[in-house]
């Protein structure tokens, strides 16, 4: 029903069919618009390129096909296009197996998702989880095909009456008081006001802004804040700004950050920035000066982020509104931006009785025992997936899962054990 592996030799034909069925204009327009935004806001380049990676990969294939008549066979070895090729292959396989009505509905959903990174992540997660169960030999269906439910997937032959599956993808900005895009927008507005005055800076300068609540998001408000912060930095005065934001300016030895540009270890970079700014895991930007100095800009909120509480709030709403409550159900939450090694480290901490439980473990205990969620037989937290080539020109995907079963549910079946590699408790 749905492709579970990519045959690299099929990539040129897969792209041709996908472009024909979905329409090249959807990724061409998106890639063009994002490229224009990046040209005007260079501080957003890395973020926007990552958020729209699938569209840029498809646009790369479109330009190749336009130039050569089709995607060259040599591109089958280009791993940079595998995510887009895999997405296209899965969409086509699902469309091929669907009724005309559902195929048209799903095609429009794909077109809409290509315009919105959050929607595209959710759709890709749904396809990935369908693949997960299909690889294990189960039959998977989409309730949308038969209008039998509002949840994402139905694993028809798992458990006595099937298993409902609802997938949610959470970006790193979930519950954040300072979203990353907003922070980058602000840095882009602030830096032109600092570049001239800090060019001769020979030491390090840490500038830390602490908002009283959520960081402002309106463009005009951000510009006014950048202008006010720029004036304070120019005068070297910290204090409280007009909107209640606290501004702290301190000097540090720029040599403490000298290794950051060549360091590939994100934990090492983060530790160095936290050390000179006296903050912890906040949105930051570090720029060097022509005189050998450095300026570290930090934006944060006096209020704590609520990532995991926001995740559990969303899962609670899904359990109540999207699952039927008439059969066993599973909630799967992708923590986008979290790598497999990070999730395994969290699971390892919870397995170690000598270490304190993580926020995931603390939250899941309350969630699974809370009413009225007896139909939820398990919750899985998933890392961001990665595509990897295997033998004979086949590309597959993998990641890590931290799965919490609820064995005391009246809907529980032992067939629900062992569905994921990592699980708290016996498999």
pLDDT at 369 > cutoff 50: yes
Nearest 10 degrees: CA dihedral of 205, 211, 217, 218? -90
* Order of strands across the sheet that contains 204-211: 239-240, 246-252, 204-211, 294-301, 283-288
136 membership: H or E segment, kind and range: none
Q: What is the pLDDT of residue 260?
A: 63
pLDDT at 352: 92
pLDDT value, residue 11: 94
Q: What pLDDT was estimated at residue 424?
A: 38
Q: How confident is the model at residue 197 (pLDDT cuts 50, 70, 90)?
A: confident
Q: What percent of the chain shows pLDDT beyond 90? A: 62
Q: What is the mean pLDDT of residues 24-34?
A: 97
Omega prior to 372 cis, within 30 of 0: yes
- CA dist 23 and 19 (Å) reads 5
pLDDT at 93 over 80: yes
Res 426: pLDDT: 30
pLDDT (tens digit per residue) in 294-346: 899 999 999 988 999 999 999 999 999 999 999 999 999 999 988 888 888 99
pTM over 0.85: yes
pLDDT at 116 over 50: yes
Closest CA relative to residue 360, chosen from 307, 419, 291: 307
Buried-exposed string 162-180: b where 16+ CB fall within 10 A, e elsewhere:
bbbbbbbbbbebbbbbbbb
Q: Is the pLDDT score of 274 beyond 70?
A: yes
% of the chain surpassing 70 pLDDT? 91
**pLDDT at residue 209, as a whole number:** 94
Confidence (pLDDT) at 254? 87
CA 169 to the chain's CA centroid: 7
> Sheet of 6-7: strands edge to edge?
6-7, 394-398, 386-389
Name the pLDDT band for 269 (thresholds 50, 70, 90): confident
Q: What is the pLDDT of residue 300?
A: 94
């Amino acid at each position: 029903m749905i492709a579970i592996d990519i045959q690299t030799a099929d990539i040129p034909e897969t792209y041709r069919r996908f472009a024909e069925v979905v329409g090249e204009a959807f990724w061409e327009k998106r890639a063009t618009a994002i490229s224009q935004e990046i040209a005007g806001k260079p501080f957003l380049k890395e973020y926007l390129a990552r958020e729209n990676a699938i569209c840029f990969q498809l646009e790369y294939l479109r330009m190749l096909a336009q130039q050569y008549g089709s995607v060259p066979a040599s591109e089958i070895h280009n791993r940079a296009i595998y995510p887009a090729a895999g997405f296209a292959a899965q969409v086509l396989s699902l469309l091929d197996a669907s009724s005309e009505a559902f195929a048209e509905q799903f095609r429009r959903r794909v077109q809409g998702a290509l315009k919105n990174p959050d929607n595209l992540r959710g759709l890709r997660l749904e396809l990935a989880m369908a693949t997960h169960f299909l690889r294990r030999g189960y039959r998977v269906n989409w309730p949308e095909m038969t209008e039998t439910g509002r949840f994402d997937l139905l694993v028809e032959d798992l458990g006595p009456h099937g298993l409902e599956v609802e997938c949610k993808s959470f970006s790193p900005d979930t519950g954040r008081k300072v979203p990353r895009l907003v922070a980058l927008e602000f840095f882009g507005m602030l830096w032109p006001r600092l570049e001239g005055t800090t060019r001769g800076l020979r030491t390090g300068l840490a500038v830390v802004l602490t908002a009283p609540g959520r960081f402002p998001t309106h463009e005009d408000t951000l510009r006014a804040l950048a202008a006010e912060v720029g004036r304070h930095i120019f005068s070297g005065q910290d204090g409280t700004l007009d909107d209640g934001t606290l501004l702290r300016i301190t000097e540090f030895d720029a040599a403490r950050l000298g290794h950051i540009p060549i360091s590939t270890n994100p934990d090492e970079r983060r530790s160095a920035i936290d050390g000179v700014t006296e903050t912890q895991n906040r949105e930051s930007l570090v720029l060097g000066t022509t005189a050998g100095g450095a300026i570290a800009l930090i934006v944060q909120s006096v209020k704590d982020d609520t990532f995991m509480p926001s995740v559990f709030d969303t899962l609670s709403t899904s359990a109540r509104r999207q699952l039927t409550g008439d059969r066993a159900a599973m909630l799967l939450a992708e923590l986008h931006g979290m790598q497999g090694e990070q999730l395994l480290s969290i699971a390892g901490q919870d397995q170690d009785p000598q270490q304190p439980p993580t926020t995931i473990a603390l939250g899941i205990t309350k969630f699974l025992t809370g009413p009225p969620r007896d139909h939820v037989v398990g919750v899985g937290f998933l890392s961001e997936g990665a595509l990897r080539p295997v033998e004979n020109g086949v590309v597959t995907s993998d990641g890590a899962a931290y799965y919490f079963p609820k064995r005391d549910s009246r809907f529980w079946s032992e067939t629900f054990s062992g569905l994921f590699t990592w699980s708290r408790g016996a498999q």
